[in-house]
Amino acid sequence: MAEFPAFEPTVSENVLRIRRAGTTWLSTGWNGGRIRSDTAYNVSVPEGWRCPDIESYVRTRLRRAGFLEGEELTQPGGPTLLTGVDLEHARGAHCGPVTAYATAGVSNPAALPLEPTGGSLPDGVPACGEDDYESTSPEDHSTDSRPAGTVNVIVATTCRLEAGALTNLIAVAAEAKARTLLGRTGFPGTTTDAIVAGHDPAGPGRAFSGSLTDVGAATRACVREAVTASLESRYSVEEAAVPESVTAAKHGTATDVRATVFCP
């Protein structure tokens, strides 16, 4: 993997560390949100992995990889994604002020048919009112069991983004990821995808990050290339193949439930 000093990648013990001093990150993954940290991580977990204490597990994995030193031994800090894909299939891409890293596996595809047949929400939750859905036990929707899939993307720019632009960078990366996956696999995503976006608060300012901006256009290109390259690596071996459908996949789902359309 090529190394770019702006956001330097290191892989150790099946953990990917992305490093740049003073970066602010926004994560959609475990323990996500906005955080200031020199590092972000993507951790590969074994198939069928379940863990009641993810924080302790992550700290152990980072320590084993040699990424925790000094105060970080008790406060790892950086945003961390979890994936069932081996980190040998991680790929990065660089364009202008943006660098992106991806791991891509689709054994758990999430299809979105445009002509749904109708049905239930995931985990048997009936397609009914908001009150009924909110009363469902959180345990019914646990994501502690991670199959050997997941498309994780970490994208970062050397520019300083306004708060809305950093948030929008998640949307730009998600759109690029979905379009790439749809074209390469026939699925727009998997059941456990996550994205981390980062920026340099000391860099040149950008108020926006849409597809017409330099940051947005570079993000789309980087995510497309990184996801494509990771897919090609993951499915270049003889025993691995992209599933032909949700029913043929080891894990997966299709959102066949219909929503009620109304005029506001």
pLDDT the model gives residue 76: 53
The residue among 252 and 154 whose pLDDT is bigger is 154
Distance of CA 245 to the CA centre of its chain: 22
Q: What is the pLDDT of residues 16-58, one digit of tens each?
A: 999 999 999 999 999 899 999 999 999 999 877 888 889 999 9
Cα 103 to Cα 169, 177, 181: the distances in Å are 18, 11, 12
Lowest mean pLDDT among 59-63, 187-191, 237-241: 237-241
Q: What is the pLDDT of residues 148-174, one digit of tens each?
A: 578 999 999 999 999 999 999 999 999
pLDDT the model gives residue 138: 36
pLDDT the model gives residue 39: 95
* 63-67, 205-209, 243-247, range with greatest mean pLDDT: 205-209
pLDDT the model gives residue 145: 47
Concatenate the DSSP letters of all residues of 222-257 into one string: HHHHHHHHHHHHHT-STT----SSTTTSSS-EE--P
pLDDT the model gives residue 141: 37
Q: What is the pTM of this model?
A: 0.87
pLDDT the model gives residue 48: 74
Superfamily for domain range 5-106+147-240: L-amino peptidase D-ALA esterase/amidase (3.60.70.12)
Q: What is the pLDDT of residues 11-26, one digit of tens each?
A: 999 999 999 999 999 9
Domain locations along the chain: 5-106+147-240
pLDDT higher than threshold 70 for residue 61: yes
Q: What is the pLDDT of residues 186-231, one digit of tens each?
A: 999 999 999 999 999 999 999 999 999 999 999 999 999 999 999 9
Q: Which residue has the tokens 């439930």?
A: 257
**d(Cα 180, Cα 39) in Å, to the nearest integer?**
26
